[in-house]
C-alpha cells in the first residue's frame, strides 16, 4: 500500500473513532456493578455477559457506575425459560429516591407455554401510574432480543428489536410532566412478585429455583449533566418518531398492547391524565 493511502486511511479511521466516541458498548465490568443479591448476580465471560438469579431468599441486580442526563441504551436480554411464573426481570433507568424519575421494562413471567407480559411504566417525580402492557411477537426466553430506551429532551421511546412500542412525549405547553431534571442510573434486576402472573393467581414454584435471566451486548449513547454542549448535538438527542415509525408504533400497539392506562377510564374517574388527551 502506498504511504499516502495508509495516511489517508489512518485519518479516516481517526474520524470514525472520534465520531463514535460517545457509543459505549461491550464490557459490563467497566460500566456496571452488581449491587445486590449476595452472589446471585454475576458478570461473567470477561465482562460480556451478566447472569442474574433469583431463589427463595432473594433476587439480584446490577446498576451503572454513572448517572446520565439523557441517553439511548440498548440491552440484549434473555429471560427465565420454562415455568417463570412469579418472576419479574427488569431493565430500566431511574434517578432513584422518593421523587424519582424512571422508565421501566419489566418482563412478567408465566407458566411454561403461556406468554410473558412486557410491562412498561414512566415515573416523573415519584409519580407513575402510566402502565402499558404488551404481549411480544416472540418468546423472550428462547433467544436474546434487544430492548432499547431512548430518552432525550423531547421524548421517551421504548423499542423492541428496533420496533417502537411506546412513546411518551414532552409536551410542556400542556403542562404534562416530563423527566428532564434528574440524572438517571441504568439498572437491571430479577425478583419475585406476587402480582406478576395472571394478576397473582399463579405463584412461583420454588422447586425450580434458581431462576436465571441473562444480559449481554449493551450499547449506550449517553450524556451527563457535565457533558459539553456538543453531546446535545448527537442525532439521538433530537430523535423523534418519524411518520413511518409512528405508523409502525400504532400497528404494534393495536396488535400487541393488552393494557393501556390511557384507556382505563374507570381507574381515573376524575379524568384521564393530561398526556392521554394530547397524544
Ligand atoms: C400468562 O398466561 C395467561 C394465560 O394465557 C395470560 O392470561 C396472561 O396474560 C399471561 N401472562 C402473565 C404475566 O400473566
Closest by Cα among 176, 172, 81 to 127: 176
Tens of pLDDT, residue by residue over 155-178, are 999 999 999 999 999 999 999 999
**Strand (E) or helix (H) holding 237:** helix 235-238
Rounded to the nearest angstrom, the distance between the alpha carbon of 239 and the centre of ligand 1 is: 34
Rounded to the nearest angstrom, the distance between the alpha carbon of 256 and the centre of ligand 1 is: 13
| Residue with CA at minimum distance from ligand 1 atom 7 | 198
Q: Which position has the grid cell 423472550?
A: 140
* Among 83, 197, 258, residue to substitute to test ligand 1 (most atoms within 8 Å of Cβ): 197
pLDDT below 70 — which residues of the chain?
Answer: 1-22
| Residue with CA at minimum distance from ligand 1 atom 2 | 114
Rounded to the nearest angstrom, the distance between the alpha carbon of 208 and the centre of ligand 1 is: 19
Q: Which three cell numbers stand for residue 178?
A: 416530563
Q: What are the two backbone dihedrals, phi and then psi, of residue 249, each rounded to the nearest 5 degrees? A: -60, -45
| Residue with CA at minimum distance from ligand 1 atom 8 | 198
pLDDT at position 2: 60
pLDDT at position 27: 96
- Ligand 1 contacts CB of residue 115 (under 6 A): yes
Which residue ranges form the domains of the chain, and what is each CATH number? 22-278 (2.60.120.200)
Residues 197/110, Cβ–Cβ less than 8 Å: yes
**Residue numbers annotated as active site:** 102, 106
| pTM score of the predicted model | 0.92
Q: Is 233 exposed, middle or buried (0-12, 13-18, 19+ CB in 10 A)?
A: exposed
Amino acid at each position: 500500500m502506498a504511504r499516502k493511502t495508509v495516511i489517508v486511511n489512518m485519518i479516516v479511521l481517526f474520524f470514525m473513532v472520534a465520531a463514535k466516541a460517545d457509543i459505549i458498548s461491550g464490557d459490563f465490568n467497566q460500566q456496571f456493578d452488581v449491587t445486590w443479591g449476595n452472589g446471585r448476580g454475576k458478570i461473567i465471560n470477561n465482562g460480556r455477559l451478566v447472569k442474574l438469579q433469583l431463589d427463595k431468599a432473594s433476587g439480584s441486580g446490577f446498576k451503572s457506575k454513572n448517572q446520565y442526563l439523557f441517553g439511548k441504551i440498548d440491552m440484549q436480554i434473555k429471560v427465565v425459560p420454562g415455568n417463570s411464573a412469579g418472576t419479574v426481570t427488569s431493565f430500566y433507568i431511574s434517578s432513584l429516591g422518593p421523587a424519582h424519575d424512571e422508565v421501566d421494562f419489566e418482563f412478567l413471567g408465566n407458566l411454561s407455554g403461556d406468554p410473558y407480559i412486557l410491562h412498561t411504566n414512566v415515573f416523573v417525580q415519584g409519580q407513575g401510574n402510566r402502565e402499558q402492557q404488551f404481549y411480544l411477537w416472540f418468546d423472550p426466553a428462547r433467544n436474546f432480543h434487544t430492548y432499547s430506551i431512548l430518552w432525550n429532551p423531547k421524548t421517551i421511546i421504548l423499542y423492541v428489536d428496533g420496533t417502537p412500542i411506546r412513546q411518551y412525549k414532552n409536551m410542556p405547553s400542556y403542562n404534562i410532566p416530563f423527566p428532564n431534571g434528574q440524572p438517571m442510573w441504568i439498572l437491571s434486576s430479577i425478583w419475585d412478585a406476587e402480582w406478576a402472573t395472571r394478576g397473582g393467581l399463579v405463584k412461583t414454584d420454588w422447586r425450580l429455583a434458581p431462576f436465571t435471566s441473562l444480559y449481554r451486548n449493551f450499547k449506550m449513547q449517553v450524556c451527563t449533566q457535565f457533558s459539553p454542549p456538543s453531546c446535545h448535538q448527537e442525532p439521538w438527542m433530537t430523535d423523534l418518531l418519524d411518520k413511518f415509525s409512528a405508523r409502525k408504533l400504532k400497528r404494534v400497539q393495536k396488535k400487541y398492547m393488552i393494557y393501556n392506562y390511557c384507556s382505563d377510564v374507570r381507574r381515573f374517574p376524575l379524568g384521564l391524565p393530561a398526556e392521554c388527551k394530547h397524544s
